[in-house]
Chains A and B, each alone.
Chain A
Amino acid sequence: MTNEALQLLIKDWAPEAEFTEEGSQYLNVLVKPEHLHDLMEILKFNSETSFDYLFCLTGVDWGQALGVVYHLESTQYRHIIVVKSQTEDRENPRLDSVYDIWATAEFHEREVYDFFGIKFNNHPNMKRIFLTDEWDGFPLRKDYVDEINMVIK
């Protein structure tokens, strides 16, 4: 499916979604956290889109907002879409988990929690995956400071 056709479909499903193709080889969709899970479910289970393969899940600190970037591909049609969602709450950021849609998200969301502190609602095992439980702070945030272990150039 072409990006234009995808865009039309998604506008139908999530009217408030913002689109951009600028500076990216894929179609980018930005959705509000409250619509994220619903949209993801449609994207996977609708027979026209059938995005059954979540191949990358990235946490990003955009400065003001914290968010997640989902790279989705359909193994049937081989089209790709990038879905983004973000929250401005840096104290207690929360997004909905998509692990019930793609099982791979379980580990990837734990990684995002570990490094960005974004908690995922309904996640079965929301705890750190790489760092120890008593680790202070979330290292991949831009405002993270560790004077001992980080070499700043």
Chain B
Amino acid sequence: METVIANSNFKSEEYFINMGPQHPATHGVLRLLLTIDGEIIKKVEPDLGYIHRSIEKMCERDSYQQIVHLTDRMDYLSANINNEAVCLTVENALQLEIPDRVKVIRTIIGELTRIASHCLWWGVMGMDVGALTTYFYGFRDREMINDIMEETCGARLTMNYNVPGGLMFDIHPNFVKRVKDFVAHFKTKIPEYNRLLTDNIIFQKRTMGVGILTKEDAISYGASGPVGRASGYSCDVRKHHPYSAFDRVSFTECLETEGDTFARYKVRMAELWESLSIIEQLIDNIPEGEHRVATNAVIKLPKGEYYQKVETARGELGVYIISDGVKSPYRMKFRSPGFSNLSLLSHIASGGKIADLVATMATLDLVIPDIDR
């Protein structure tokens, strides 16, 4: 076949093709301008901003309690962790002593959020490469977490459970039992996930050796989360800059060295086990105490600059506040993991096929509102 093409006088020509903004594999309103030659990708240029809401500008007008509500509209699959990030920044700036109970509950909820996010990612990843069943499996198990969240704080997606100073309510009396039930249930499901997708030879052929990212590039492009860790780059904020209760649990940072699409897949699958383990270590030892410490109705941060990083399901979220001492920040910046992870897409997808781009993009786990903010 190849010799035929090589011997013929066909001239190839580069051309543009639009992928998105309404393409199912772009997971939201992301438009990719592909420069291709035949089916080989030469360049991927993302066109962003379809759902930009200028959250950073709105923050300059809002109070710190209000800002918390904006953050779960960024990466809506890590809503709780985003909320926590802002709350931690404000609490550190005010030097509030947060009760142990709050720290432990935040950690449990954060890990539940991570599992729910990874479940959705796993389902959608399978669907992107042509396996529709995974979607139903992933959503079935994610639903249990959503139910727990609903009972705890009344919301299923944008929780707003964290407030500066602690939690909006105490946990529901059923919380501990339901979380334990979920952990027991989910432990039997991950092997099922593996039988269905991970061990599938077609899936492996689609993902192995595709979209390779080296460790040096991962650091240079500011990759974080599973994307960075699949390239052997130790970047887990929970390990390097522990917050909440992560300093009192033992867990392994899941690292792979191949840096390809399958490695990113494996890291997330391994993280499911680690999250379950973290929850198990904490769920029986939730300390008694207050679920919230009082703050002033109007929170004014002392003049200065504050930075807090947390590990969301997608990677490192940074919250940077410049305060000049009034009720709203002078400047607020969210360093979102998706934005940096997207910036390396062109680098790792160039030279591959369009079908590989879909698989690669699925393991970058992009959430567009997180990129567009």
Contact = CB atoms under 8 A, between A and B. Distances in A.
Interface of A: 22-26, 28, 52-56, 58, 60-61, 69, 71, 75, 78, 82, 102-104, 106-108, 111, 115, 129-132, 139-140, 150-153
30 contacts: A23-B305, A24-B307, A26-B307, A28-B305, A55-B224, A55-B309, A56-B318, A58-B320, A58-B331, A58-B335, A61-B331, A71-B320, A75-B234, A103-B222, A104-B222, A104-B340, A106-B343, A107-B339, A107-B340, A108-B340, A115-B56, A129-B48, A130-B52, A131-B52, A139-B54, A140-B56, A150-B57, A151-B61, A152-B61, A153-B61
Contacts of B56: 115, 140
Interface stretch (B27-35, B131-139, B213-221, B281-289): B213-221
B248 interface: no
Interface in B266-309: 302-307, 309
Nearest to A80: B307
B90 to A, nearest CB: 14
Contacts of A108: 339-340
A27 B316 CA distance: 21
Given A23-B303, A55-B316, A75 B61 contact: no
Contacts of B219: 52-53, 75
Contacts of B61: 151-153
Given A71-B318, A75-B234, A52 B343 contact: no
Contacts of B224: 55
Contacts of A58: 320, 331, 333, 335
A55 to B, nearest CB: 6
Contacts of A55: 222, 224, 309, 316, 318, 335
Interface-centre pick from B217, B222, B320 (highest chain A CB count, 10 A): B222
A139 B234 contact: no
Contacts of B307: 24-26, 56, 71
B64 interface: no
Interface in B333-359: 333, 335, 339-340, 342-344, 347
Contact of B306 (A25, A104, A150, A151): A25
Nearest to A152: B61
Given A25-B306, A78-B240, A108-B340, 10 more contacts: A56-B333, A56-B335, A103-B217, A103-B343, A104-B220, A130-B48, A130-B372, A132-B49, A140-B56, A150-B57
Interface string B80-91: 000000000000
A28 B322 CA distance: 13
A103 B52 CA distance: 23
Contact of B302 (A23, A25, A54, A153): A23
B333 A130 contact: no
Report, nearest first, the 5 A-B pairs whose CB atoms are least far apart.
A23-B304, A104-B222, A130-B49, A107-B343, A56-B335
A110 to B, nearest CB: 9
A149 B93 CA distance: 32
Nearest to B52: A130
Contacts of B309: 55
Contacts of B302: 23
Contacts of B305: 23-24, 28, 82
A52 B220 contact: yes
B235 interface: yes
B57 A140 contact: yes
Nearest to A131: B49
Nearest to B224: A55
A129 B33 CA distance: 13
B243 interface: no
A73 B235 CA distance: 11
Nearest to A56: B335
B343 A104 contact: yes
Nearest to A71: B307
Interface-centre pick from B54, B224, B240, B307 (highest chain A CB count, 10 A): B307
Contacts of A139: 54, 57
B297 to A, nearest CB: 16
B122 interface: no
B320 A103 contact: no
Contacts of A150: 57
B233 interface: yes
A28 to B, nearest CB: 8
Contacts of A82: 305
